[in-house]
Amino acid sequence: MSTTQNVFFRKRVVAGVEHRRDPLFGSWTRINPDRARRPKHTGGAARGADLQALIQSSRETCPFCPERRDTETPVFPPDLCGSARLTKGELVLFPNKNPFGEYHAVGILADSHYIPMEAYSERTLEDSLLLTQAYFRAVHRKDAAARFPVYVWNFLPPSAGSIVHPHIQLLLESRPAPIIETLTRACLRWEEGQGEAFWDALLREEVREGKRVILAQEDVAVLASFAPRGFREILVFLPGSGSLADLEAGEIRTFSWALARLLKAYHAMGVGSFNLVTYSPPMGAAPPPFPFHVKLISRPYPKGIYTNDTGFFERMYDLWIIDTLPEEVARLARPFFRDG
């Protein structure tokens, strides 16, 4: 067994498996790249055929396609947003028919039934965030207690997305999700103990080591997570930012620029499905306990039968089993930021 001691990047290698400790939360990840080389049941051509079959079959009854949208999606109450649905170009925002939180909405990203992840434009992503902000602010004016924003994107069924048509989900709640409470406490505890913000220290140490940095600029940082909780996990954060609902236009533009490149990078890595999850301070928090940030993780490629990427360790033991080194993820993603 070998051990690396560092306040941020603690790891030990046991029988060829890397055990890595998350620098903020203290949770553990085990990484064995040999798992990624296990035999797969279908090759690239078969996977592509499965995806095309999924796209074609789901288009026939899709409630988000323009010809069914007006009759099969709900509308906002008259006193909430001032209109039945919020729109911006092809984007359409309306209440979730089967919500699992407060002020739960769905945002259709385009008229097209399917857009490959590498084809999303910066403008579409930027518009989705601007429309999201308009929704959050409308809700907050009606209900001042609703101030904890959530923006998530489940891309295709392996990510738990039940509808193929491009869409995001939004919530504005009066209580934070448990992870936001945990994150807030951890950041405050770190700052009290270390005398500086965790995010400043993290970026400094990542830049110093250099192995997982994809992009490090004054206004945006893109990193492959040292101790990921998901496959090919990538962290994007906006230094000095606050709530998603309070981001300035320039911050939204910068984030959308980075996200569009990461989707191209994921495609080049062979990723076919992903989750995007935001971590946002509450609206109006001054100072915010942490900056607005996002994590992306890849999910299994869409096909009829596939091996799930989470098992008993992740679901029941809070221990994350990963098959790709973050340093390799960073190496593969960096080329997509070299022109910027």
> Residue range 229-252: average pLDDT?
97
Question: Half-sphere exposure of residue 271, counting CA atoms within 13 Å on the CB side?
Answer: 30
Q: Does some domain include residue 14?
A: no
Instruction: Give residues with Cβ within 8 angstroms of 88, minimum separation 6.
Output: 127, 130, 131
Q: Does 24 have pLDDT greater than 80?
A: yes
Instruction: Give residues with Cβ within 8 angstroms of 85, minimum separation 6.
Output: 73, 75, 76, 92, 93, 94
Report if pTM > 0.75: yes
Q: Does some domain include residue 11?
A: no
Question: pLDDT tier at 46 (50, 70, 90 boundaries)?
Answer: low
Q: Does some domain include residue 56?
A: yes
Which of 30-44, 47-61, 182-196, 242-256 has the lowest average pLDDT? 30-44
For residue 273, what pLDDT is reported?
93
> Residue range 1-21: average pLDDT?
83
CA-based R_g, the chain, Å:
20
Q: Does 41 have pLDDT greater than 50?
A: no
Q: Does some domain include residue 307?
A: yes
Instruction: Give residues with Cβ within 8 angstroms of 252, minimum separation 6.
Output: 126, 129, 130, 133
> Residue range 309-333: average pLDDT?
87
Contact present, 137 and 244 (Cβ < 8 Å): no
For residue 42, what pLDDT is reported?
46
Q: Does some domain include residue 22?
A: no
Q: Does some domain include residue 4?
A: no
Nearest to 173, CA basis, from 140, 128, 205, 125: 140
For residue 162, what pLDDT is reported?
86
Task: Give me the domain span that covers residue 233.
Answer: 43-337
DSSP bridge partners of 277: 152, 295
Residue whose entry in the numeric block shows the structure tokens 């596939």: 306
For residue 35, what pLDDT is reported?
76
Give tens-digit pLDDT for 75-132: 999 999 999 999 999 999 999 999 999 999 999 999 999 999 999 999 999 999 999 9
With the CA atoms of 91, 116, 304 and 65 taken in that order, what torsion angle do they form, in degrees rounded to the nearest 10? 30
Helices (H) and strands (E) in the chain, counts: 9, 15
* 8-state DSSP, 302: P
Q: Does 65 have pLDDT greater than 70?
A: yes
Contact present, 53 and 96 (Cβ < 8 Å): no
Q: Does some domain include residue 158?
A: yes
For residue 333, what pLDDT is reported?
97
Give tens-digit pLDDT for 131-190: 999 999 999 999 999 999 999 999 998 888 889 999 999 999 999 999 999 999 999 999
- Separation between Cα atoms, residue 43 and residue 10, nearest integer Å: 37
Q: Would you tell me how many other CB atoms lie within 10 Å of the CB of residue 41?
A: 11
Q: What is the CATH number of the domain that holds 265?
A: 3.30.428.10
How many domains does the chain fold into? 1
From residue 242, alpha-carbon distances to 2, 103, 149 in Å are 40, 21, 11
Please state the φ and ψ torsions of residue 200, each to the nearest 5 degrees.
-65, -45
- Separation between Cα atoms, residue 153 and residue 298, nearest integer Å: 12
* Helix, coil or strand: residue 138: helix
From residue 107, alpha-carbon distances to 6, 224, 263 in Å are 42, 28, 19
Of 4 and 114, the structure prediction assigns the larger pLDDT to 114
Q: Does some domain include residue 113?
A: yes
For residue 44, what pLDDT is reported?
53
User: Taking the mean position of all CA atoms in its chain, how far away is CA 80?
Assistant: 27
Give tens-digit pLDDT for 210-239: 999 999 999 999 999 999 999 999 999 999
Q: Which ranges in 76-215 belong to alpha helices (H)?
A: 78-81, 122-142, 178-194, 198-209
Nearest to 19, CA basis, from 34, 4, 6, 8: 4
